[in-house]
């Protein structure tokens, strides 16, 4: 084999939002691209395993109608007729879209799916971000005046970092994140980690607060109180702050001793953490699923940003800055109506079952699912399944069979991210600079799989509904696709038209380069002035203590702790990350969890008369599920954990236990009790 072939073809990994650079060899091996300017050779185990899906016999390769393999024409006819019938019976709102985060997701898939729904005139866009991220938009709207001003930690320049709800050494969901945190450790920066588990991040932290699950807000308020009382904050923050007095009044009752009693951590460690952060200011904060997927999601995000604000980090190098990205999201949002219950046009998936089961004339009659498995990933599986089974038409676009494709009226096979050209433009808060890259196809799709852009263009043609409701855009995309010479809507053809139209031609200011096929980036660090200029509140000021957030914090903190519930004396943490199992799609190649394994500390298991391999039933408010016990010394007592995305997990989670400010469900911390199988009345 010649050296160039052995080196492999450059592309971009699509297993998660990190979009790391990869090289793929002719035999399908995938490794990190050491020349990629952001990921620099890093690639997690899931990215390395993704090549195993290329040509795998478990892939979806032919369209299915009611589970039967059929030609594309028949499948598209059935899908379009079902969607048309729903439109005739209930109008545009009778058709919905559910968009996920796995294969075949990507910027082009998102744009095509969103444009298709907007062309129908529907506002029912359910999005996986409503399970884990829309609280950040709610916080941005209240603090900065604009839901799209979502700042990111300036890790490259940080000297102090607060970490909540993540273990970046394993769940690297941001390009360059693991390397940036390792660099922070090497330069002896301060890291304060709030986590019930002694994770890799916790082991290297300056201070690890091994708090009770669900008590982050109490600890954050105590940190703020120390910063205020000891005058450790920045007296001249880079962006003017309102609400400091109200914030100080809110945290005044939360002495380190009181918070320590609730969170079961040493009060002295809270004080030490605050002093270290204050001495190293400005500070940044990294928050992820563990504190996001809770009934305090927005309060947790706000208080973490408040700590950063008091320490002078909002709008400062080494603090929290804004990546404006390439897409003009404001212009995109103005193109169509938004559902009154949405956040920036996105509906929370927890609404889906209710909308499916409603008796209103415009009830949801047809649903198009892209890159998602809601039958497994949305809380309270039993209720959602009842709703999905009531649909007249369910159209699913995916790479492999899932629980949702098994229910589909029409299942359409899609290209894997390494089998198509795509671009990575979405969620700029996960990228350390303004950046875009194009994934190069390294293998042909198996069987009859197609790109999602081609599928949506064909469905919109059959329904007579142009993309984005704009015939000029629709015609231009089709003309560019035809120009590719295949007579089919190819991603690269659509790319040439869609991106300039939807980015305000920002791409023309970028720089062409080699990694990932081609890339566009702006060199250098993010500009603090971009963040300051984005402030949309009067006078360009930040509201450090929005009234609605303060009131919700007071209500939540006055109520019983979320770590106990009606005799359920254990907290089930569902965001555990395994190095080999982040993406459920990889179960097809023998990777990822295949059953519920319940991790307990040795002392917690002993107290309950359990040992390694014991069989139990895990019981929550909505259901029971069998599990096998595994002992894990990194866990604290009072907590249990299961791997994120484990099969059957969402038969235990609750679609009514929500953050009232964002609608995000409390998936990360679920009150539960354990029943040894021998005591479960014969239920195995």
CATH of the domain at 265: 3.40.228.10
Claim to verify: residue 162 and residue 37 sit in the same structural domain: no
Is residue 591 a part of any domain in this protein? yes
> pLDDT category, 521, cuts 50, 70, 90?
low
Is residue 518 a part of any domain in this protein? no
pLDDT at 488: 44
Is residue 303 a part of any domain in this protein? yes
- Are 181 and 552 within 8 A, CB to CB? no
Output 564 or 25, whichever has higher pLDDT. 25
In the chain, the percentage of residues whose pLDDT exceeds 70 is 86
Is residue 142 a part of any domain in this protein? no
Structure tokens at 626: 């069998």
Contacts 24+ apart (CB under 8 A), 614-617: 614/676, 615/676, 615/677, 615/684, 616/674, 616/675, 616/676, 616/677, 617/674, 617/675, 617/677, 617/680, 617/683
What is the average pLDDT across 588-608?
A: 84
Report the C-alpha gap between 305 and 290 in whole angstroms. Answer: 16
Contacts of 654 (CB under 8 A, 6+ apart): 379, 380, 620, 621, 622, 665, 666, 670
> pLDDT category, 387, cuts 50, 70, 90?
very high
The mean predicted confidence, pLDDT, of the chain is 86
Claim to verify: residue 159 and residue 299 sit in the same structural domain: yes
Enclosing H/E stretch for 528: helix 528-533
From the CB of residue 616, how many other CB atoms can be counted at a distance below 10 Å?
26
Note the pLDDT tens digit of each residue in 278-337: 999 999 999 998 889 999 999 999 999 999 999 999 999 999 999 887 777 777 777 678
Report the C-alpha gap between 413 and 72 in whole angstroms. Answer: 10
What is the average pLDDT across 226-231?
A: 98
> pLDDT category, 526, cuts 50, 70, 90?
confident
What is the average pLDDT across 591-607?
A: 86
- Are 433 and 120 within 8 A, CB to CB? no
For residue 612, pLDDT beyond 90: yes
- Are 249 and 289 within 8 A, CB to CB? no
> pLDDT category, 683, cuts 50, 70, 90?
very low
Is residue 525 a part of any domain in this protein? no
Please measure the distance between the N-terminal and C-terminal CA atoms of the chain and give it in whole angstroms: 54
> pLDDT category, 11, cuts 50, 70, 90?
confident
Claim to verify: residue 122 and residue 232 sit in the same structural domain: no
What is the average pLDDT across 158-179?
A: 82
Is residue 519 a part of any domain in this protein? no
Phi and psi torsions of 150, nearest 5°: -105, 105
Claim to verify: residue 308 and residue 339 sit in the same structural domain: no
pLDDT at 122: 96
Length of the chain: 684
Note the pLDDT tens digit of each residue in 73-123: 999 999 999 999 999 999 999 999 999 976 556 778 888 899 899 999 999
Claim to verify: residue 204 and residue 277 sit in the same structural domain: yes
DSSP 548-561: HHHHHHHHHHHSPP
From the CB of residue 48, how many other CB atoms can be counted at a distance below 10 Å?
17
| Cis omega (within 30 of 0) for bond into 104 | yes
Contacts of 139 (CB under 8 A, 6+ apart): 298, 301, 302, 305, 549
List, in sequence order, every residue forming a beta bridge with 164; answer none if it has no partner: 194, 287
- Provide the number of structural domains found in the chain: 4
What is the average pLDDT across 514-524?
A: 51
pLDDT at 427: 78
Is residue 32 a part of any domain in this protein? yes
Claim to verify: residue 606 and residue 567 sit in the same structural domain: yes
Claim to verify: residue 549 and residue 648 sit in the same structural domain: no
Annotate 326-381 with three-state secondary structure: CCCHHHHHHCCCCCCCCECCEECHHHHHHHHHCCCCCCCCEEEEECCCHHHHCCCH
CA angle 583, 586, 589 (to 5 degrees): 170
pLDDT at 580: 55
| Cis omega (within 30 of 0) for bond into 53 | no
Tokens 């259901």, residue?
Answer: 623
Range of the domain at 277: 152-321+532-554
> pLDDT category, 654, cuts 50, 70, 90?
very high
List, in sequence order, every residue forming a beta bridge with 413; answer none if it has no partner: 398
Q: Cα dihedral sign for 561, 565, 567, 570?
A: negative
Output 56 or 15, whichever has higher pLDDT. 56
Claim to verify: residue 349 and residue 415 sit in the same structural domain: yes
pLDDT at 394: 98
Is residue 146 a part of any domain in this protein? no
């Amino acid at each position: 084999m010649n050296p160039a072939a052995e080196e492999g073809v450059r592309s971009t990994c699509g297993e998660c939002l990190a979009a790391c650079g990869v090289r793929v060899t002719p035999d399908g091996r995938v490794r990190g691209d050491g020349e990629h300017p952001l990921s620099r050779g890093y690639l997690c185990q899931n990215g390395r395993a993704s090549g195993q899906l290329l040509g795998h016999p478990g892939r979806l390769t032919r369209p299915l109608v009611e589970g039967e393999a059929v030609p594309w024409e028949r499948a598209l006819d059935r899908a379009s007729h079902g969607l048309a019938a729903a439109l005739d019976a209930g109008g545009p709102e009778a058709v919905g879209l559910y968009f996920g985060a796995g294969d075949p997701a990507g910027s082009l898939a998102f744009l095509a799916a969103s444009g298709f729904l907007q062309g129908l005139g529907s506002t029912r866009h359910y999005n996986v971000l409503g399970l884990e991220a829309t609280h950040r938009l709610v916080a941005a709207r209240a603090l900065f005046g604009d839901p799209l001003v979502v700042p990111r930690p300036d890790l490259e320049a940080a000297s102090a970092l607060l970490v909540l709800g993540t273990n970046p050494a394993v769940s690297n969901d941001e390009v360059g994140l693991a390397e940036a945190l390792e660099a922070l450790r090497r330069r002896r920066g301060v890291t304060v980690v709030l986590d019930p588990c002694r994770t890799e991040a916790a082991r290297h932290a300056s201070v690890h607060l091994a708090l009770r699950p669900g008590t982050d807000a109490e600890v954050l308020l105590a940190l703020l109180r120390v910063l205020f009382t000891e005058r450790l904050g920045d007296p001249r923050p880079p962006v003017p702050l309102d609400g400091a007095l109200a914030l100080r009044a809110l945290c005044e009752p939360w002495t380190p001793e009181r918070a320590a009693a609730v969170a079961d951590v040493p009060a002295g460690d809270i004080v030490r953490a605050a002093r270290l952060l204050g001495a190293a200011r400005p500070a940044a904060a990294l928050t992820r699923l563990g504190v996001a997927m809770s009934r305090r999601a927005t309060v947790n995000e706000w208080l973490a940003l408040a700590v950063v604000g008091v320490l002078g980090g909002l709008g400062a190098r080494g603090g929290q800055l804004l990546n404006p990205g390439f897409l003009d999201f404001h212009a995109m949002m103005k193109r169509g109506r938004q559902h009154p219950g949405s956040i920036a046009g996105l509906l929370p998936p927890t609404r889906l079952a209710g909308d499916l089961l409603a008796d209103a004339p415009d009830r949801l009659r047809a649903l198009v699912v892209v890159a998602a498995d809601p039958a497994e990933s949305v809380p309270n599986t039993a209720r959602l399944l009842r709703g999905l089974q009531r649909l007249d038409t369910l159209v699913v676009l995916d790479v492999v069979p899932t629980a949702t494709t098994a229910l589909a009226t029409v299942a359409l096979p899609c290209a894997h991210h390494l089998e198509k050209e795509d671009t990575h433009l979405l969620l700029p808060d996960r990228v350390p600079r303004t950046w875009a890259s194009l994934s190069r196809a390294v293998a042909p799709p198996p069987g009859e799989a197609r790109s999602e852009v081609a599928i949506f263009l064909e469905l919109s043609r059959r329904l007579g509904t142009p993309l984005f409701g704009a015939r000029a855009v629709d015609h231009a995309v089709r003309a560019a696709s035809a120009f590719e010479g295949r007579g089919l809507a190819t991603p690269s053809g659509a790319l040439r038209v869609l991106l300039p139209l939807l980015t305000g031609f920002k791409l023309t200011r970028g720089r062409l380069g080699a990694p990932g096929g081609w890339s566009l980036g702006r060199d250098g660090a993010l500009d603090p002035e971009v963040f300051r200029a984005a402030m949309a509140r009067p006078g360009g000021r930040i509201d450090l203590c929005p009234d609605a957030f303060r009131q919700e914090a007071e209500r939540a903190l006055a109520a019983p702790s979320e770590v106990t519930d009606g005799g359920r004396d254990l907290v089930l943490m569902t965001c555990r990350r395994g190095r080999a199992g982040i993406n459920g799609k990889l179960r097809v190649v023998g990777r990822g969890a295949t059953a519920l394994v319940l991790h307990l500390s040795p002392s917690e298991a002993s107290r309950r008369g359990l040992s390694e391999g014991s069989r139990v039933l895990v019981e929550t408010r909505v259901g029971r599920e069998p599990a096998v016990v595994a002992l894990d010394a990194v866990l604290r007592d009072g907590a249990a954990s299961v791997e994120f995305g484990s099969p059957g997990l969402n038969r235990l989670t609750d679609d009514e236990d929500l953050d009232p400010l964002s609608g995000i469900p409390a998936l990360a911390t679920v009150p539960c009790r354990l029943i040894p199988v021998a005591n479960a009345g014969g239920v195995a």
